[in-house]
């Protein structure tokens, strides 16, 4: 098949959409398909590049200040039209409803090309980062949700990473386009339990024999990371040897570091910034327990990676996280923004080695149902069905 992937967020931007769209492109190309990705340029200028086994065509772009390393293509219609005409895809898979996604939807519909659209985002993913709009966030969230429903209804098949995401998206059963949950998936050959390589602890200044609470992901307002810092402060009151590992970067990084200093935790918290793909895999192995305080997750690839690495999870009972963090099976679900409850969950995992081992075992079992190979096979089946129809 000739598969066109349209994504307004793509590598080297770091977030769930970018990670998934790259994994999808790599995986489909490895299975023998001809894959082309349309994504914003990282330099601002149009260009074409090869990412291992597939081609990325980059459209002209400008910086977007609210996300780390994120650029947007404001008017890519002409570029997208030509790319579609030149590549002549059998199917188009749209990852976002922004400018590249809009153009791909428009011309895919015009030329009668089957379109799959995947919704990865909640309005909160944007609105929590635009603090000036906080007073009017509720009506804007409603407008964005309604717009998303209209946009995705123009496709031939809609997917989301979890059933919970579909339930939230189509609460009134108003959308008649076929829809199904398809996990973002992770590479279970990369993310495995075990010990981190020698030198990793020294390289990042991590204690070898202390409990480590870890978070890996973007450091943006929507992730509610100040809640994690406050919860860790509570954990420290009873576990002074505990350490907090924060991997990633984002627009809220400076605020978080300031909060850590305000609480006097600077010697107990490590901020790594962005790390290499190799170190990311290794850092998932050092944690005692993984914490995800974000209430705006439609799945959470980072949580999946932690689970596949054998970590128990403490997360908030919001979004779709309950499908990964299953209360008392592989971790604890807590009320959103309740730092006392999150701290209690973290402490219980740290204190009880038998519970920790049982949770780790169940995290692995759940993660095994999200193998990227299963995800690729499911999308191949969807594409083939649409093409045949």
Q: What is the pLDDT of residues 36-66, one digit of tens each?
A: 999 999 999 999 999 999 999 999 999 877 6
Backbone angles phi, psi at 341, to 5 degrees: -70, -40
Query: What pLDDT is recorded for position 172?
Result: 63
Q: Is the pLDDT of residue 248 over 60?
A: yes
User: Which has more confidence, 98 or 233?
Assistant: 233
The DSSP string of 43-58 is SSS-EEEEETTEEEEE
Query: Residue 162 has what DSSP assignment?
Result: S
Rounded Cα distance between 363 and 371, Å, is 13
Rounded Cα distance between 117 and 157, Å, is 6
The order of strands in the sheet holding 157-160 is: 47-51, 54-59, 34-40, 2-6, 91-94, 115-118, 157-160, 179-181
How distant, in Å, are the alpha carbons of 102, 106, 159, 385 from that of 115?
A: 12, 10, 11, 11
Q: What is the pLDDT of residues 148-196, one digit of tens each?
A: 889 999 999 999 999 999 988 877 667 899 999 999 999 999 999 999 9
User: Which has more confidence, 65 or 25?
Assistant: 25
Domain(s) of CATH 3.40.50.2000: residues in the chain? 2-185+372-388, 200-370
Of 230, 202, 251, 213, nearest to 66 (Cα)? 251
Q: Is the pLDDT of residue 107 over 60?
A: yes
Query: What pLDDT is recorded for position 136?
Result: 39
Lowest-pLDDT range, 19-23, 53-57, 133-137, 255-259? 133-137
* Residue 314 DSSP SS3: strand
Backbone angles phi, psi at 292, to 5 degrees: -125, 100
Confidence label for 198 from pLDDT (cuts 50, 70 and 90)? confident
Q: Is the pLDDT of residue 142 over 80?
A: no
Mean pLDDT along residues 334-351? 98
Render the burial of 139-169: b for 16+ CB within 10 Å, e for the rest.
Answer: eeeeebeeebbebbebbbbbbbbbebbbebb
Region of 224 on the Ramachandran plot (φ > 0 left; ψ -120 to 50 alpha; else beta): left
Of 286, 285, 284, 335, nearest to 314 (Cα)? 335
Strand pairing report for 54-59 and 71-72: unpaired
Mean pLDDT along residues 235-252? 96
Q: Is the pLDDT of residue 127 over 60?
A: no
How distant, in Å, are the alpha carbons of 42, 229, 345, 355, 356 from that of 352?
A: 47, 22, 11, 5, 6
Helices (H) then strands (E): counts for the chain: 14, 16
How distant, in Å, are the alpha carbons of 4, 164, 354 from that of 231?
A: 44, 27, 23
Most confident of 6-15, 115-124, 235-244: 235-244
Which CATH fold would you assign to the domain 200-370? Rossmann fold (3.40.50)
Q: Is the pLDDT of residue 71 over 90?
A: no
Query: What pLDDT is recorded for position 121?
Result: 78
Q: What is the mean pLDDT of the chain?
A: 92
User: Please, are residues 191 and 305 in contact by the beta-carbon 8 Å criterion?
Assistant: yes
Query: What pLDDT is recorded for position 30?
Result: 98
Query: What pLDDT is recorded for position 173?
Result: 67
How distant, in Å, are the alpha carbons of 52, 177, 258, 269 from that of 167?
A: 36, 14, 38, 37
Rounded Cα distance between 79 and 255, Å, is 39
Alpha carbon 6 to its chain centroid, in Å, reads: 17
Beta bridge partners of 313: 290, 331
Beta bridge partners of 56: 37, 49
Q: Is the pLDDT of residue 145 over 80?
A: no
Which CATH fold would you assign to the domain 2-185+372-388? Rossmann fold (3.40.50)
Region of 158 on the Ramachandran plot (φ > 0 left; ψ -120 to 50 alpha; else beta): beta
Q: Is the pLDDT of residue 129 over 90?
A: no
Q: Residue 248, exposed/middle/buried by CB under 10 A (0-12, 13-18, 19+)?
A: buried
Confidence label for 68 from pLDDT (cuts 50, 70 and 90)? low
Lowest-pLDDT range, 126-135, 158-167, 349-358? 126-135
């Amino acid at each position: 098949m000739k598969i066109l992937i349209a994504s307004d967020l793509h590598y080297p931007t770091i977030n769930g959409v970018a990670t998934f769209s790259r994994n999808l492109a790599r995986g489909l190309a490895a299975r023998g398909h001809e894959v082309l990705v349309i994504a914003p340029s990282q330099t601002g200028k149009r260009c074409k590049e090869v990412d291992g086994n597939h081609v990325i065509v980059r459209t002209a772009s400008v910086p977007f200040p609210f996300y780390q390393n994120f650029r947007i293509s404001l008017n890519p219609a002409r570029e997208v039209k030509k790319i579609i005409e030149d590549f002549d895809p059998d199917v188009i898979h749209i990852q976002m409803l922004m400018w590249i996604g809009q153009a791909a939807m428009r011309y895919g519909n015009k030329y009668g090309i089957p379109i799959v659209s995947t919704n990865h985002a909640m309005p909160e993913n944007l609105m929590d980062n635009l603090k000036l709009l906080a007073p009017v966030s509720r009506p804007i969230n409603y407008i964005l949700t309604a717009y998303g429903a209209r946009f995705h209804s123009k496709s031939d098949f809609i997917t989301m990473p979890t059933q919970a995401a579909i339930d939230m998206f189509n609460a009134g059963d108003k959308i008649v386009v076929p829809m199904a949950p398809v996990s973002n998936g992770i590479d279970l050959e990369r993310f495995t339990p075990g010990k981190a390589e020698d030198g990793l602890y020294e390289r990042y200044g991590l204690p070898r024999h202390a409990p480590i609470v870890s978070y890996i992901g973007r450091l943006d307002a929507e992730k509610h990371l100040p809640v994690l810092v406050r919860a860790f402060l509570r954990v420290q009151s009873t576990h002074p040897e505990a350490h907090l590992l924060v991997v990633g970067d984002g627009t809220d990084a400076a605020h978080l570091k300031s909060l850590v200093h305000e609480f006097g935790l600077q010697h107990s918290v490590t901020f790594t910034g962005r790390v290499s793909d190799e170190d990311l895999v290794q850092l998932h192995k050092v944690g005692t327990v993984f914490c995800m305080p974000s209430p705006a997750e439609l799945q959470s690839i980072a949580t999946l990676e932690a689970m596949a690495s054998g970590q128990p999870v403490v997360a908030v009972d919001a979004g779709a996280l309950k499908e990964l963090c299953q209360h008392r099976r592989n971790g604890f679900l807590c009320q959103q923004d309740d730092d006392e409850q999150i701290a209690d969950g973290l402490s219980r995992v740290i204190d009880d080695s038998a519970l920790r081992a049982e949770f780790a075992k169940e995290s692995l079992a759940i993660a095994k149902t999200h193998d990227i190979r299963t995800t690729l096979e499911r999308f191949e089946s969807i594409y083939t069905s649409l093409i045949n129809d």
